[in-house]
Amino acid sequence: MLRQIAAGFSQWLDCVAATVVALLNRLSAPRRMRLAEQADGSFAVETPPGKPALAPVKLASGVALCDEATAAALKGCQVELALRPDRFFFRALELPKRATEFLDGIVREQIDRITPWAASEAAFGWSEPSEAPGDKISVTIAAGPRAQIAPLAQAFGNLGAASVFVSTREGPGQAAIKVFTQSAAGALEVRQVRRRLAAVLAILVLVAGAAAAADAVIGASLQSRQSDIVRRIAERRGILRAGNDAAANSALAKLARRKNENAADVIVLEALSNVLPDNTYVTELRIEGDRVQIVGITSDAPSLIRLIEQSPHFSRATFFAPTTRAPSDPGDRYHIEARIKPVFAPPS
């Protein structure tokens, strides 16, 4: 299983590298030159209209020979070698229309059966599928010995051609069938692109592994720190909440205690107004803590002590200064001090 995975991965790299090289070749758009094989074994160079004719290329012991002008024209070009049909074996095949997508595999399987060469020993190709009766397609296979065709392509590649592909025609007027392709620069580029792709993938795997390891280590550390921070925040919130509750409870307790221990001035004033008779006036009122001092004018100062003592709100009523009477006063000027009881209730 591992070998199959490795083989599949290698084929995938080859396909990707070949696709990249093909795209680069399309973008570069090299010039194209067609050389047709003649009866004497030489190759005539077909030139565009208006261009000077070039001398033919001859082969001698597997080496392509030509003049400088022809060599300069072929250098860097995409060269098509149009070989004579007598070098190839032709066979027409009828296949189901659905087989169009699988022609490469089907033709490779048929090469061993219909030609004297194995698929690895043959240079072969097929024509464009054409419609045939019965919902079928018809293709023409052209095949020849790879051992004879590859040296021809190599000879022209040695002249500096960017790429060389070999084609043939079954007869005049027929479409050309490409049977072999060789590109020295392209093959080198494919190998280079393949190596670079493998290096990039290896680097990506290493980076991904390092990232996963760093995520595991750093993530665990960050998770631990986050948990510790959350715990500490919860503790601080608990302390603050307890402190706020304690402060609130303490403040409430202080207010309640002060309320119970100290009477409100309004209550003291109301209690005095209920105790003092109608012929008694208060000109000064001072409340200091639990003591109240009143100064005023009355017709009977000693009776005020008794009246204040009888009140449930006061106790220990005494004169803190002598009682005097001025000629202009309508009564005696008294100075009385009393203790305020801590709990006051509305008089019944």
Q: Residue 182 corresponds to which tokens in the numbers above?
A: 């060789």
Domain final position from 120, 144, 179: 179
As for how many domains the chain has, the answer is 2
**Residue 19: inside a domain, yes or no?**
no
Listed in sequence order, the residues at least 6 apart from 195 whose beta carbon sits closer than 8 Å to its beta carbon are: none
Structural domain contains residue 330: yes
Which of 181, 169, 99 shows the shortest CA–CA distance to 140? 169
Q: Which of 179, 197, 227 is the last residue of a domain?
A: 179
Question: DSSP letters along 45-97, please?
Answer: EE--TTSPP---BEEETTEEE--HHHHHHHTT-EEEEEE-GGGSEEEEEEEEG
Q: What is the pTM of this model?
A: 0.47
Sequential DSSP letters for 273-310: HHHS-TT-EEEEEEEETTEEEEEEEES-SHHHHHHHHH
For residue 48, tell me if it sits in a domain.
yes
Query: Can you say how many angstroms the Cα of residue 343 is from the centroid of all Cα atoms in its chain?
Result: 72
Residues 174 and 270 in one domain: no
Domain boundary among 113, 145, 179: 179
| Cα–Cα distance list, 286 to 148, 295, 343 (Å) | 134, 9, 19
What pLDDT, on the 0 to 100 scale, is given for residue 28?
61
Domain containing 335 — which CATH number? 3.30.1360.100
Q: Are residues 159 and 276 in the same domain?
A: no
**For position 187, what pLDDT does the model report?**
47
Domain containing residue 170: CATH number: 3.30.420
Instruction: Give me the domain span that covers residue 328.
Output: 265-340
Asked, for residue 133, whether it belongs to a domain, the answer is yes
- CA atoms of 12 and 4, how far apart (whole Å): 12
Does the CA dihedral 199-202-206-208 come out positive or negative?
Answer: positive
Which residues, at least 6 apart from 178, have a Cβ–Cβ distance to it below 8 Å? 125, 165, 166, 167
Residue 92 domain-assigned?
Answer: yes
239 in any annotated domain: no
- Element containing residue 164 per DSSP (H, E): strand 163-168
Name every residue whose Cβ is closer than 8 Å to that of residue 73 and which is 6 or more positions away in sequence.
Answer: 33, 45, 47, 54
Tens-binned pLDDT, residue by residue, of the chain (348 aa):
788 887 777 778 878 877 877 776 666 656 788 999 998 889 999 888 888 888 899 988 888 889 988 888 888 888 899 999 999 999 998 888 888 888 888 888 888 888 888 888 999 999 999 988 888 999 999 999 999 999 988 888 888 888 888 999 998 888 899 999 886 544 445 667 778 888 888 899 899 988 888 888 888 888 888 889 999 999 888 888 877 666 656 666 666 666 655 556 777 788 888 888 888 888 888 888 788 888 888 888 888 888 888 888 888 888 888 888 877 778 888 889 988 886 544 444
* Domain identity same for 163 and 291: no
CA dist 225 and 229 (Å) reads: 6
- Are 172 and 295 members of one domain? no
